[in-house]
């Protein structure tokens, strides 16, 4: 089992030493709002264990991760009133396996894939409200 990495921002979030707005948490996975969102509701979904790439995970764990990310994506669809939620496992920004879940809108200015130069300025209070709505929606809907 990979050990937590001391120099990993996402491991810090798992440890609770770098507070973020949490939208989903269970024993093995964590979803939180990205502090530099490409769109409102941009969520990072990660395994709590440190893996460099999603492709380093056991295949069953990766399957579970996507099953659980689906719950978050479904909630994002409802909360942000869009069917278009992309999932991207890029992985260059932070060296800890993650799935970006980004609600998309016809007029959001991104291309087919998000433009990393387009970031949204969202006040902390609004981020907290987004997280609250997403958590409620996840709790409200069956697995
Ligand atoms: Zn990590």
Q: How far is the CA of 34 from the centre of ligand 1 (A)?
A: 15
Q: How far is the CA of 108 from the centre of ligand 1 (A)?
A: 30
DSSP summary character for residue 119: -
Q: How far is the CA of 48 from the centre of ligand 1 (A)?
A: 8
Strands lying side by side in the sheet with 43-47: 22-25, 29-33, 43-47, 99-103, 85-88
Q: Report the C-alpha gap between 46 and 26 in whole angstroms.
A: 11
Per-residue tens of pLDDT for the chain, all 143 residues = 566 677 899 999 999 999 999 999 999 999 999 999 999 999 999 999 999 999 999 999 999 999 999 999 999 999 999 999 999 998 888 999 999 999 999 999 999 989 999 999 999 999 999 999 999 999 998 77
Q: Which helix (H) or strand (E) holds 23?
A: strand 22-25
CB 82, CB 108: distance < 8 Å: no
Helix (H, G, I), strand (E, B) or coil at 27: coil
Q: How far is the CA of 130 from the centre of ligand 1 (A)?
A: 25
Q: Which helix (H) or strand (E) holds 102?
A: strand 99-103
pTM: 0.94
Q: Report the C-alpha gap between 108 and 63 in whole angstroms.
A: 30
Q: How far is the CA of 4 from the centre of ligand 1 (A)?
A: 6
Q: Which of 52, 31, 50 lies closest to 102 in space, CA to CA?
A: 31
Predicted pLDDT at 1: 52
Q: In Å, how far are 50, 132, 134 from 71, measured between CA atoms? A: 22, 15, 10
Predicted pLDDT at 2: 63
Q: How far is the CA of 55 from the centre of ligand 1 (A)?
A: 15
Q: How far is the CA of 2 from the centre of ligand 1 (A)?
A: 9
71 beta partners = none
Domains of the chain, start order: 9-140 (3.30.428.10)
Q: How far is the CA of 81 from the centre of ligand 1 (A)?
A: 32
Q: How far is the CA of 8 from the centre of ligand 1 (A)?
A: 5
Predicted pLDDT at 15: 95
């Amino acid at each position: 089992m990979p050990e937590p990495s001391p120099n990993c921002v996402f491991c810090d979030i798992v440890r609770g030493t770098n507070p973020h707005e949490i939208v989903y948490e269970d024993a093995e996975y964590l979803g939180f709002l990205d502090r530099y969102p490409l769109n409102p509701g941009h969520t990072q979904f990660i395994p709590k264990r440190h893996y460099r790439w999603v492709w380093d995970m056991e295949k069953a764990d990766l399957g579970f991760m996507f099953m659980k990310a689906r719950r978050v994506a479904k909630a994002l669809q409802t909360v942000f009133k869009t069917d278009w939620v992309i999932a991207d496992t890029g992985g260059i920004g932070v060296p800890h396996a993650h799935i970006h879940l980004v609600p998309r809108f016809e007029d959001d200015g991104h291309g087919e894939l998000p433009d990393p130069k387009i970031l949204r300025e969202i006040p902390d209070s609004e981020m907290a409200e987004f997280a609250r709505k997403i958590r409620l929606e996840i709790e409200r809907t069956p697995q």
